């Protein structure tokens, strides 16, 4: 089944097992409908509900989701996303395919959609590594890095921080220290796409078959970094404003790109809003492991780290070993996540009342 082409896209024995399990879960109607004509394919590009996917023989097809599968998709996150593996029924003569379903994801990088809706917006699927990109300029913001790190840990990908524009930094060590404090235990890379400094060390982190997602705000150099890693001008770039180091969106869509060395990269549009989702608490626990470890030593197990006596967290803040801003960020993200979970529960109850079925991606 074109194992070499699939392997080049990131397919492995675990995906093969997932594929077999998914096929075995098809109901009789679906088995008759597709009659063995389904193949695994990976989503390279998504534009609204139209997709470009790559199949097991190396062919690429323009694809849409089948009507049956659409009926099972009750939330935006249920739809295929860049990086997803899907079950496709190809029509080679037309250069098209129908997507019958999405294979269960290994990881899902998502954020809350802009505005007041409690829904999650998928940024990338099945990423092994999340490169959290920020520049060593006045736009550097540790609190934003904390948010990105929490979302990355929640996604199932391993976060790494990439500090760009090393050639323009007066004190790179100071930025590295701040990044390490914002995301303890996370690898930090400094790079300059202009001079090439640091790129080889970063490339060595991206093993063949690995899928990497680039996330960050506008103007931090994501597209320039993507071009440097891909070995060519694959993504458009723009200059930032010299007055405030702010940039405009260069990448306007998400796309899976091959990198030198055999890894795959998903570049994403710059994020102005980075809202928490209704995911499990694991991401925040990992991103703020230092605070949660300290909290275990508080006198009261339900200590809110305010003015309670015997608060171990506040004691460390008073000693200067922990920034008060980091605790404030942690508490704010906890509140956001809790609110999203409440709103998601309400949304699901409303769907249940309407008689909507829970999505089953194996159908």
Same domain for 86 and 144, yes or no, is no
Q: Rounded to whole angstroms, how far apart are CA atoms 59 and 210?
A: 21
CATH value at residue 113: 3.40.50.300
pLDDT computed for residue 17 by the predictor: 97
Tell me whether residue 281 is annotated as binding. no
Weakest mean pLDDT among 85-99, 249-263, 279-293:
249-263
Higher pLDDT, 344 or 71: 71
Domain region containing 46: 3-102
How many C-beta atoms surround the C-beta of residue 247 within 10 A? 21
Tell me whether residue 164 is annotated as binding. yes
Assess if residue 359 is contained within a domain.
no
Spatial CA neighbour of 212 closest among 274, 257, 271: 257
> Model confidence over 161-198: pLDDT tens digits?
999 999 888 899 999 999 999 999 899 999 998 899 99
CATH value at residue 55: 2.40.50.140
- The total of structural domains in the chain comes to 3
- Phi–psi pair at 179, nearest 5 degrees: -65, -40
35-47 average pLDDT score: 91
Tell me whether residue 166 is annotated as binding. yes
Last residue in a domain, options 244, 267, 290: 267
Last residue in a domain, options 102, 137, 171: 102
Tell me whether residue 160 is annotated as binding. no
Same domain for 239 and 288, yes or no, is no
On the question of pLDDT at 223 being above 90, the answer is no
Tell me whether residue 217 is annotated as binding. yes
pTM of the model: 0.82
Tell me whether residue 268 is annotated as binding. no
On the question of pLDDT at 22 being above 50, the answer is yes
pLDDT computed for residue 41 by the predictor: 97
Last residue in a domain, options 87, 102, 117: 102
Same domain for 244 and 345, yes or no, is no
On the question of pLDDT at 325 being above 70, the answer is yes
Tell me whether residue 223 is annotated as binding. yes
On the question of pLDDT at 94 being above 80, the answer is yes
Tell me whether residue 298 is annotated as binding. yes
pLDDT computed for residue 130 by the predictor: 95
Same domain for 123 and 257, yes or no, is yes
Same domain for 175 and 142, yes or no, is yes
Tell me whether residue 219 is annotated as binding. yes
Same domain for 220 and 291, yes or no, is no
Assess if residue 171 is contained within a domain.
yes
Same domain for 348 and 216, yes or no, is no
Assess if residue 275 is contained within a domain.
no
Tell me whether residue 305 is annotated as binding. yes
Q: Rounded to whole angstroms, how far apart are CA atoms 59 and 57?
A: 6
Q: Rounded to whole angstroms, how far apart are CA atoms 6 and 321?
A: 49
Assess if residue 276 is contained within a domain.
no
How many C-beta atoms surround the C-beta of residue 351 within 10 A? 14
49 alpha carbon, distance to own chain's centre: 19
Q: Rounded to whole angstroms, how far apart are CA atoms 352 and 345?
A: 11
On the question of pLDDT at 104 being above 90, the answer is yes
Tell me whether strands 264-267 and 255-258 are parallel, antiparallel or unpaired.
Answer: antiparallel
Tell me whether residue 177 is annotated as binding. no
Same domain for 161 and 91, yes or no, is no
Weakest mean pLDDT among 137-146, 195-204, 239-248:
239-248
Same domain for 214 and 68, yes or no, is no
Assess if residue 288 is contained within a domain.
yes
pLDDT computed for residue 251 by the predictor: 47
Core vs surface per residue 79-113: b (16+ CB within 10 A) or e:
bbbbbbbbbbbbeeeeeebbbbbbbebbbbbbbbb
């Amino acid at each position: 089944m074109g194992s070499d082409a699939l392997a080049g896209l990131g397919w492995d024995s675990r995906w093969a097992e997932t594929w077999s399990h998914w096929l075995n879960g098809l109901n009789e109607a679906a088995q008759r409908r597709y009659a063995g004509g389904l193949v695994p394919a990976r989503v390279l590009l998504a534009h609204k509900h139209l997709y470009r996917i790559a199949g097991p023989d190396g062919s690429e097809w323009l694809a849409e989701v089948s009507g049956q599968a659409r009926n099972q998709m009750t939330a935006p996150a249920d739809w295929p996303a860049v990086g997803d593996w899907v079950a496709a029924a190809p029509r080679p003569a037309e250069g098209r395919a129908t997507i019958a379903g999405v294979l269960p994801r290994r990881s899902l990088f998502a954020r809350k959609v802009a505005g007041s809706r409690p829904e999650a917006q998928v940024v990338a699927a099945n990423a092994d590594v999340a490169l959290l990109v920020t520049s060593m300029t006045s736009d550097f913001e540790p609190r934003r890095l904390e948010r990105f790190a929490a979302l990355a840990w929640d996604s199932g990908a391993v976060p790494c921080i990439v500090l760009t524009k090393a050639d323009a930094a007066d004190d790179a060590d100071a930025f590295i220290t701040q990044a390490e404090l914002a995301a303890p235990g996370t690898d930090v890379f400094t790079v300059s796409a202009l001079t090439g400094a640091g790129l080889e060390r970063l490339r060595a982190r991206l093993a063949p078959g690995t899928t990497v997602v680039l996330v960050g705000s506008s103007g931090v150099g994501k597209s320039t970094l993507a071009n440097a890693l891909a070995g060519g001008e694959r993504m458009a770039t723009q200059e930032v404003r010299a007055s405030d180091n702010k940039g405009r969106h260069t990448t306007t869509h998400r796309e899976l790109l091959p990198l030198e060395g055999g890894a795959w990269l998903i570049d994403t549009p710059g994020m102005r809003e980075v809202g928490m989702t209704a995911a499990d608490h694991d991401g925040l626990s990992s991103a703020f492991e230092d605070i949660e470890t300290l909290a275990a030593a508080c006198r009261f197990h339900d200590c809110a780290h305010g003015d309670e006596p015997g608060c171990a967290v506040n004691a460390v803040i008073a000693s200067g070993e922990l920034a008060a801003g980091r605790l404030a960020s942690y508490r704010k993200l906890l509140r956001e996540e809790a609110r999203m979970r409440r709103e998601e529960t309400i949304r699901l109850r409303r769907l249940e009342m309407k008689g909507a079925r829970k999505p089953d991606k194996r159908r």
